[in-house]
Structure 1
Amino acid sequence: MRWSWFTDHFFNKRKQREERAFYENGSLLLEKLIVCCNAKPIPIPTFSPQQLLLATNNFSSSELLGYSWYKGSLEGRIVLIKRLYGWADLAINDLVISAQMSGHSNVLKPIGCCLHTPTPILVFESAANGILADRIFISRVTKRQHQPMGWERRLKIARQIAHALSYLHTAFPRPVLHMSIHMYRILLDEDDVPKLSDFYFSVSIPEGEADVEAHEAFYFDAPEFKASRKVTEKFDVYCFGQLLLELLTGKGIHNRAQGSCINEIVDPAILAEDGEGGVSLEHQLQAVVDLALTCTVEDPQRRPTMVDVTKQLRRIERFAETGEVLLGNLQNLKLHESFEEHASASLKRNASSDEIQAVNEASERPLEV
C-alpha cells in the first residue's frame, strides 16, 4: 500500500511538471510564431519525452553527434534530436526561424518538438554526413580519419550557404540575422549538401529601423558588435567571410590571410589535388581570399551584401569552365563601395518571383512528419 502511494505520487508529480512545461513552452512558442510569422499558421507536430528517450536509447553518448545533437530513430525514420539545457527561449527561437526557412534546400528542416520538458527538445531531419567542421578542420579530419574535402565541393558549399543567408536577409517582411555562422552550425546530408542550422541567437531588424541591438553572438564577433551591440545584415557577412577563410585554410585563420601567399595559407589538401587545375585553381583561390577579406573589412558599410557575395561565388565557380577574368569581375562589382541603399531589397529584385514565393509558401505549410 505504501509503495503504491509512493509510485502514484512520483508519477503524478512528473505529470504535473510535464504539463507545466508544456503550458509554458507552448505559450512561448505561440508568442514567437505570432511575432515572427505575422500570425500565419505553421503546424508543428509534438512528441512525448518517452518517444525521444526511446529514439535515442535514453540519450546515450553513443548517439551523440556533436554538442547538443543526438542521432535517433523516430517513427521509422532517422532523425537528429537537439537537446539543450536551460535555454527554453533560445530553443523556441531556433524552432520558429528553422520552420520559417524550411522551404530552403540548404536549411536543416525541423520535424517537430517536445514541449513537455523544461527546455523544449527539437527534432530535425537527418544529416548523414555529420558536421562540416569534421570534414574541414585539419585536426578534426585527422582525428576522425575522414578524407579531406576537395576544393570544388568546398566552393559549392560556400555558395549554397551564402544563398541561404541571402534568403534569410531578404525573403521575409523584416531582415533576419543568423548571428552564429560557423563550421559547427552547418551539417551535411548523404550527398554533402550543406544544411544551415542553429538559429538560437537569430534576430530580426524591427520595421523602420536600420539595425538591431543584439544581446548574443557566438564564435565570430564583428567589430561593430563589440563596439555597440548594434548590428545589421553586415554582421552575418563578416562571419561568412571568416567561414570562407576557414574553408580555404582548414583552420581558424581569421584575417591573417591579408597579404599572404596562397601557398602559405591554403589547406595542403587543396593544393595536393592541383593535378589539372593549375593557374585556374590558383585564380579561384585568390578570388575567394579577396572576397573573404572584403567581407571582413572593419567598416560594415564597405562590406558587400550576401546577395552580391552569392553572385561572386557563382562567378568563381564558373571560372574553370568559362575562363572569366575573376580579378576584373571583383573590380567591376565594386565590392568595396557601400551597398546600404539596396541591402535588404536586393534579393527580391534579383531573384525570381517563383523562388521568393516558394520560400514564403513553405513557411506556411505543415512541417513534414
Structure 2
Amino acid sequence: MAHHKRRTNELFRKNGGSVLQELENLRIFTREELKKITKNNSHVLGKGGSGHVYKGILEDGTMVAVKTAIEVDEARKEDFTNEVIIQSQMIHKNIIKLLGCCLEVDVPMLVYEFAPKGNLYDILHGNKANRYQRLRLPLDLRLDIAAESAEGLKYMHSSTNNTIRHGDVKAANILLDEHFMPKISDFGTSMLLSRGEDFTALVVGSMGYIDPVFSQTGLLTQKSDVYSFGVVLLELICRKPTIYNEHCSLVIEFRRAHEKNGSGRAMFDEDIAVMEEDVFVMEEMGRLAIECLEEEVENRPDMKEVAERLVMLRRARNHGQWNYGSPAHHCRKNNFAAALGTDVSRTTSSSTVPLIPAMRQEFPNL
C-alpha cells in the first residue's frame, strides 16, 4: 500500500498535478474514480492521435469521453500543463469542453464532454460501426455545421489570450452533439509546439488535409488551419472524402473543375444540388474553399473572415426571400453575389473580401 501510494504521488507530480490542481474549472479525477467512470475502459469509442477514447458516465449521469493525452516527462511537463490550462479556459459552444483529467497514471487521461452524434467524417462518408452513417444532410444543416465550426476555430485563433493553432483540422475532429451542433476536438498536434514557437521538428497531420507549407517546412500557423478547413468545406458540398475512387484527390479534382468551368458544380453532392438557390449557396461555399486552399499562405483569408462570410451567407439564405422564378431573380442573385465579393457572370475562380455594407443594404433585415 505504501509503495502504491508513493507511485501514485510520483505520477501525479510528474504529470503536472501541483499546477493543475490549482485550476478552479478543472476537476482532478483519481485513478479509481476514472476506472469507475469508464467501467475499467470497457467501452471504446475510437482511437485518437495519442491513444484510445473511452465512453464514461459521471456520478450525476453526465456522459463523457475519456482519452489518452501525451506522455509527459520533465522536458514536456510545462508544455503539457500549459496546454491543459489553455484548453480548460476555452469556453465556446463550438469547442469540445475539457472537464477534467486524471494524473495518477503513466500517461495522463483527459475527460471531455460527450458528443453523441459522433464525428462529421463518419456521418458524411459512412462507418459500419456508426448508426448515423450516410445520414441525409440537407444543405441548411451543412451550412450550419460549416459556419459554427468556423466560429469555433475563429475563437481559438483570435478570442483567447494565447496564440492557438489546432494543427489537425479535419472532418473526423469535428464532433456533433445531439442537435448536430459541431464542436472542434482533438488538440494533440497543437501540444507539439512549445508556447511562442511556430516550428515543430515532427510534422504530423492527416493526409488530404495537411497544409503543404506545414508539411514541407514544419511551420504551423493559423493559416494552416484555414487550409485544412477549406478541405472540410469541400467535403460538405461534395460529400466525397479527401481521396475517393481509389486514386482521386478531392482538392485536386475540385480545383481542376473550378479552373476549367469557373465552378465546382460538376462535383457537388447530387442529393442537395437540386434547386437553383441551393446550387448558388454551394457555389459560394466552393469559392470560399478555393481561397482557403491557396498555396500562398498570405493569400488565404483568416478564420475571422471565413466565419463572417459563412454567417452572412447563412443569414442571407434564411432571410433573403429570393424568388428564383421571378424576372427579378438574376438581378437579386447578382446583387447578393456582389455583396459576398463574387461575380456570377465571371468564369474565373477569384473572389474578393465580402462587401458587408453592400449586403446589408440589399438585405436590411439581416
Q: TM-score, normalised by structure 2?
A: 0.75
Listed as ranges, the matches of 1:69-80 within 5 Å are 69-80=53-64
Q: For 2:172 and 2:56, how far apart are their aligned partners in 1? A: 19
| Partner-residue secondary structure (3-state), 1:212 | coil
Structure 1 gap ranges (5+)? 1-10, 34-39, 339-369
Q: CA RMSD in A?
A: 3.1
| Partner-residue secondary structure (3-state), 1:202 | helix
Distance 1:96 1:184, change over 3 A: farther
Q: 2:266 aligns with which of 264, 267, 272?
A: 264
Q: For 1:141 and 1:264, how far apart are their aligned partners in 2? A: 28
1:79 and 1:124 in contact (8 A); partners too = no
Q: 2:299 aligns with which of 298, 302, 305?
A: 302
Give yes or no for the alignment of 1:65 onto 2:45: yes
Q: For 2:156 and 2:194, how far apart are their aligned partners in 1? A: 12
| Partner-residue secondary structure (3-state), 1:168 | helix
Listed as ranges, the matches of 1:32-71 within 5 Å are 42-60=24-42, 63-67=43-47, 68-71=52-55
Q: TM-score, normalised by structure 1?
A: 0.74
Deviations 1:322-349, CA, capped at 9 Å, x for gaps: 14645423436998679xxxxxxxxxxx
Superposed displacement of residue 119, structure 1: 1.1
Please tell me the residue identity of whatever aligns with 2:30: S
Structure 2 gap ranges (5+)? 243-249, 258-262, 323-332, 344-348, 354-366
Superposed displacement of residue 53, structure 1: 1.4
Q: For 1:249 and 1:94, how far apart are their aligned partners in 2? A: 35
Aligned length: 309
Please tell me the residue identity of whatever aligns with 2:339: N
Give yes or no for the alignment of 1:116 onto 2:104: yes
Give yes or no for the alignment of 1:229 onto 2:209: no
1:52 and 1:74 in contact (8 A); partners too = no
Superposed displacement of residue 256, structure 1: 1.9
Q: For 1:29 and 1:302, how far apart are their aligned partners in 2? A: 41
Deviates more, 1:237-246 or 1:221-230: 221-230
- Aligned position for 1:247: 236
- Identical-pair percentage: 27
Deviations 1:156-200, CA, capped at 9 Å, x for gaps: 111111111111111233421111111121111111111111112
Q: For 1:42 and 1:202, how far apart are their aligned partners in 2? A: 23
- Aligned position for 2:280: 283
2:265 and 2:279 in contact (8 A); partners too = no
Superposed displacement of residue 96, structure 1: 2.9
Distance 1:143 1:49, change over 3 A: closer
- Aligned position for 2:140: 152
| Partner-residue secondary structure (3-state), 2:118 | coil
Deviates more, 1:297-306 or 1:14-23: 14-23
| Partner-residue secondary structure (3-state), 1:112 | strand
Listed as ranges, the matches of 1:341-352 within 5 Å are none
Q: 1:293 aligns with which of 290, 294, 298?
A: 290
Give yes or no for the alignment of 1:212 onto 2:198: yes
| Partner-residue secondary structure (3-state), 1:69 | strand
Which structure ranks higher in relative contact order (CA pairs < 8 Å, sequence separation ≥ 6)?
Answer: 1
Distance 1:19 1:213, change over 3 A: same
Deviations 1:252-310, CA, capped at 9 Å, x for gaps: 22232124264532234334xx4xxx111010111111110110010000001111111
Deviates more, 1:314-323 or 1:227-236: 314-323
| Partner-residue secondary structure (3-state), 2:45 | strand
Please tell me the residue identity of whatever aligns with 1:66: G
Q: For 2:69 and 2:101, how far apart are their aligned partners in 1? A: 15
Give yes or no for the alignment of 1:25 onto 2:32: no
Q: 1:161 aligns with which of 134, 142, 149?
A: 149
Larger proportion of helix: 1
2:168 and 2:210 in contact (8 A); partners too = no
Q: For 2:17 and 2:188, how far apart are their aligned partners in 1? A: 18
Q: For 1:297 and 1:127, how far apart are their aligned partners in 2? A: 32
Q: 1:317 aligns with which of 293, 314, 317?
A: 314
Q: For 1:56 and 1:73, how far apart are their aligned partners in 2? A: 7
Superposed displacement of residue 95, structure 1: 3.1
Q: For 1:13 and 1:128, how far apart are their aligned partners in 2? A: 40
Distance 1:173 1:54, change over 3 A: closer
Deviations 1:114-135, CA, capped at 9 Å, x for gaps: 1101111111122122222221
